[in-house]
Every structure is written in C-alpha cells, then in structure tokens.
Amino acid sequence: QSPLKEGTLFKIAASHFLKKDYQAARESFNLLINTYPSGEYTALSRYFIAESYRFAKQLKEASFSYGQLISKDPNAPIAANAAFKLGWGTYLQQNYSGAADAFQKFIDLHPFHPWTPQAYLLMGNCYRTMGRSEDAVIAYQQTFDRAPKTELAESAMTLLNRTRYLQGNYGQLSSG
C-alpha cells in the first residue's frame, strides 16, 4: 500500500519510464495497480508495464503483459492497442501461427481501429511464411481495400503479387 494518490503514483512511474529506468517504472506501476486495482490509471499502468518490456526488448514478457491487460481490462480504450501489440510481439518472436491468431482477434474486436490495415498486412506475412498462400492473398487484399492510396497499400499490392507469382498465378497479378 502507498499513502500517495493514484495520479501521483502514475506520475512517478511515468517519470521512471521516460528516463528509461524500466525496472523502477514497472515497480511503480505495479504499486499503483496493487494500491488502486480499479483505479483510473490501472489499465494504462498495465499498458506501460508491457511497453517497458517491449522497449527493453523482452518480447515474451511484453506479450504476456499485453495479454494481461486485455484479459483484465478488455474494455479499456488502450486494450485495442495492446491487442495489436500482442500480435506484433508474437510476430517478432517468429511465432507466426500465434501472431496470425492474435491479429485475427484484434481485427474481430476492433475492425475500424486505425491499425487494422497493418494487422491484415502482418497477418498476410504470417500466412505466407506458414505456406498458407491463399490466406495470405486474402489478408493482403484486405490491407489494400482498407487503406487504398497509401504506402501500406503499395506494400500490400507488392506482397499480393509476389505471393500470386509464387503460386504460379501470373494472370492474377494486380496493379494499384
């Protein structure tokens, strides 16, 4: 327990985070969570714990922490970002099946989030790496459809055509 107010604890923890003292930041955020389990800053504290692991390149711990936020505070506004970053962290760990599943859950729960096109692109990469070319093509097409006339769409089109080419579907190549 701490005699400090929740906002004060959050400012202290955030200060450690900004100074890149991630261990001290996690300790302070955990103190806040334990002192104010239903507080205004609890979900955001869980998010910053996960972020501190991510910035420290501890991807397994980051993924676990994003998952904790999603399970304990699923309706918090920051939970959508955590869901995407859970997929991203899993992708960086080269667990492509797990990443594809995480991205699909993110898309299902947050179909209009600004990061949804990126989730489709990364999910397509997962599928392509796993040899699921047809699923990759669908994911790349979704990226293109959801973010037309963007650099992301150009990347999706390139990957879509490369996947179709490798499948031998030369007649189905597309242009933006």
Give the model's pLDDT for residue 173.
Answer: 44
Question: Does the pLDDT of residue 111 top 80, yes or no?
Answer: yes
Note the pLDDT tens digit of each residue in 6-17.
Answer: 999 999 999 999
Percent of the chain beyond pLDDT 70?
Answer: 94
Q: Is the dihedral of CA 10, 16, 22, 26 positive or negative?
A: negative
Record the pTM.
0.87
Note the pLDDT tens digit of each residue in 86-97.
Answer: 999 999 999 999
Interval 128-146 mean pLDDT: 93
- Other CB atoms within a 10 A radius of the CB of residue 155 amount to 18
Q: Distance between CA atoms of 61 and 71, rounded to whole angstroms?
A: 15
| The token pair that represents 43 in the structure block | 């979900």
Q: Which amino acid is at 170?
A: Y
